[in-house]
Structure 1
Amino acid sequence: MAGVTLDKTPQLLFFLAVVAHPGTEDAKVHNLVLTQEEDSYDKRLAELDLQARAIEGGEMHIVIAGDHSAAYAAALQGGTSEELLDQWLGQIGA
């Protein structure tokens, strides 16, 4: 008889980030938002786009990560890898 386990496959999360000068030593995350509700996604996207435009060197990026700390680190580099994006898409059944 196999043992029962509560181990789960780690779930990836979808974040939007506003970052100035990503991928450089001057990189700064201005906003990092976990997006969970589809209803507010378009509104949040528009707000963050405006914020990115108002910041010198500001850019908006999609970040896929397992937690907030990992998302922050990825945002500083300018977003997420294609591999993580593919994993997230598989997780949501897309």
Structure 2
Amino acid sequence: MAITLDKTPQLLFFLAVVAHPGTDHARVHNLVLTQDEDSYDERLAELDLQARAIEGGEMHIVIAGDRSAAYTAARNGATGEELLDQWLGQQGA
């Protein structure tokens, strides 16, 4: 049996505050990797306040393999159901 150090890529869970997602004027104001379940509710509340303070601001859940992909998904304003299902699967849900 061959030994390998290759790992299955893991998807990450981000929260994003975006103004005018899915448009040419989209702007990501905040992109936060959520790793600590204990501070999730606090972080969610902070980003909700920030989204309300920004004209056209919205908060989105973004599932991506890395920060660059998360930024792109946030600008588009969507994370596909397929990625969410994959992320849930890797969490053992």
**Interval of TM-score (by shorter of Structure 1 and Structure 2):** over 0.9
CA RMSD of aligned residues (A): 0.5
Percentage of pairs with the same residue: 84
The residue aligned with 1:33 is 32
Moved over 2 A (4+): none
Q: What is the TM-score normalised by the length of structure 1?
A: 0.97
The residue aligned with 2:20 is 21
Q: What is the TM-score normalised by the length of structure 2?
A: 0.98
Query: Aligned partners of 2:38, 2:8: CA distance in 1, in Å?
Result: 27
Instruction: Note if 1:67 corresponds to 2:66.
Output: yes
Query: Aligned partners of 1:22, 1:47: CA distance in 2, in Å?
Result: 19
The residue aligned with 2:77 is 78
Aligned pairs, number: 93
Structure 1 residues without counterparts, runs of 5 or longer = none
Query: Aligned partners of 1:93, 1:62: CA distance in 2, in Å?
Result: 19
Query: Aligned partners of 1:79, 1:45: CA distance in 2, in Å?
Result: 17
The residue aligned with 2:2 is 3
Structure 2 residues without counterparts, runs of 5 or longer = none
